[in-house]
Copies of this chain bind each other. A is one copy, B any other.
Amino acid sequence: MEEVKIGLLGFGTVGKGVYELIKKNQDLIQKRTGIKLSIKKALVRDPQKHKGYPEELFTTEPDEVFKDPEINIVCELIGGEHPAKEYILKALELGKEVITANKAVLAKWGDEVWGTADKLGRFLGFEASVGGGIPIIKTLKEALIGNDITSIIGIINGTTNYILTRMLEENLSFEKALNEAKEKGYAEADPTLDINGMDSAHKIAILASLAFGFFIPVEKVYVEGIENVSVLDLMFAKDFGYIIKLLAFAIKGENEVEVRVHPTLIPENHVLASIRLNYNALYITGNFVGEVLLYGLGAGKEPTASAVVGDIIDAVEHRLFKKTSFIKYPLTKKDNFYKIKPMDEVESKYYFRFSAIDRPGVLSKISGVLGEHQISIASVVQIGRQKPGESVPIVMLTHETKEKNVKLAFKEIEKLDVVTDKPIKLRIL
């Protein structure tokens, strides 16, 4: 029987989850693998803050984890960019196998971090960085290794999905839905990175890098958040048979890939439309497997701990059996023959909502501008005015067109004197 001692960097939500999982399921894991897992040290800022756990678990001195020869596996669970990145690199260089839940570090410096692990022959597990307990990384790296992955489309942020679900189903305002999410623990105190789409952007950068085999840093991801999605648009979309979700896309074209995050109208009979509340779901298409969907809780203490422990067992295997990290993705060096498609060139169907004065000829003016920019309208709804002089919404669905056409058309439409508010555009799946 092999005992494996683990060092934790950080003891926040995820760290506590890992500790509790190992405590609770230690015997079961040992029965399954022959390996007894135990956590030897956890690096924290203030041990006083972690009452109720064994005192000797904690240290404030990084080297008590890094330099302990008994600790072969280090889990970086402090989050943020620094010193997380430096800790990951240091642990790899000191010969540890490393597990991280840190999407920001991978999405920003994946080439360096993956490259270092690869060069040193170390295991670097990051299942917990995307989709909580959903086994998306293992599925891409291992189960679907025989496939050319042609697209990944997913809901990979639970906070925004919760908010959009509650806005639609209970007619809540954005603020009310956000507050509810905070109360339930589905949104952090500062939910900025969730709301503005950056959390999803980090995650899709990691997935796109894995799927397509070259490093795609988060700066290359086009991002729109849900700040401008209103109950009005959720309702209009629903009337047209669509549900609005914050979707992340990684799509492979002939010579280019599209990597983007934005609110999107999904036909209501599509499986992704049925993903409610704080659940995540990922739709992967491979050239042999066809479509595969993975669904589950994309965050939270326990699901994330499940992912970390799955990686720990892989790390143990790697170490015990000197298994080389032989699935070499992302290919960090060459082979980036693919380019990222500029957003201007991305084609999509659109949902537009204009606010305009209800006066004869308004619709013809707006549609005239759209026509000039090769945007053809699939359907249109104009709601009659309630009071004279009030502005009314005009909602349109378009056929496929390029983003740049929409941008140019909107510039002109915004200038029309009959248009009373900033027009809304949302893409359709």
Contact = CB atoms under 8 A, between A and B. Distances in A.
Interface stretch (A91-99, A196-204, A301-309): A301-309
A186 to B, nearest CB: 13
B293 A296 contact: yes
A328 B134 contact: no
Nearest to A292: B296
Given A138-B138, A274-B271, A326-B317, A290 B302 contact: yes
A324 interface: yes
A408 interface: no
Contacts of A22: 146
A322 B327 CA distance: 16
A161 to B, nearest CB: 14
A255 B100 CA distance: 37
Interface string A276-316: 00000100001111111111110010110111011011100
Contact of A146 (B134, B143, B310, B321): B310
A143 B135 contact: yes
Nearest to A316: B326
A25 interface: yes
A21 B312 CA distance: 32
A285 to B, nearest CB: 10
A370 to B, nearest CB: 35
A33 B323 CA distance: 13
B295 A31 contact: no
A144 to B, nearest CB: 7
Interface in A134-175: 134-135, 138-139, 142-148
A296 B328 CA distance: 26
A136 to B, nearest CB: 9
A21 B281 CA distance: 27
- Secondary structure class of chain A's binding surface, majority of residues: mixed
Interface in A320-344: 320-324, 326-329, 331, 335
Q: What number of copies of this chain does the assembly contain? A: 2
Contacts of A143: 127, 135, 138-139, 307, 310
A142 B29 CA distance: 11
A146 B31 contact: no
Nearest to A322: B321
B306 A297 contact: no
A32 B331 CA distance: 8
Given A25-B147, A289-B133, A292-B295, A324 B321 contact: yes
A-B pairs with lowest CB-CB distance, top 8: A146-B309, A135-B143, A133-B289, A293-B295, A292-B296, A289-B306, A288-B306, A321-B323
Among A133, A139, A314, A322: residue with most chain B CB under 10 A: A133
A17 interface: yes
A67 B296 CA distance: 46
B292 A145 contact: no
Which of A147, A289, A327 has the largest number of chain B CB atoms within 10 A? A289
A324 B25 CA distance: 22
Contacts of A293: 281, 293-296
A28 interface: yes
Contact of A145 (B145, B310, B322, B324): B310
Contacts of A142: 135, 138, 142, 310, 313-314
Given A146-B309, A294-B293, A313-B146, A34 B328 contact: yes
Interface in A1-32: 17, 21-22, 24-25, 28-29, 31-32
A213 interface: yes
Given A25-B147, A271-B274, A33 B294 contact: no
A258 to B, nearest CB: 20
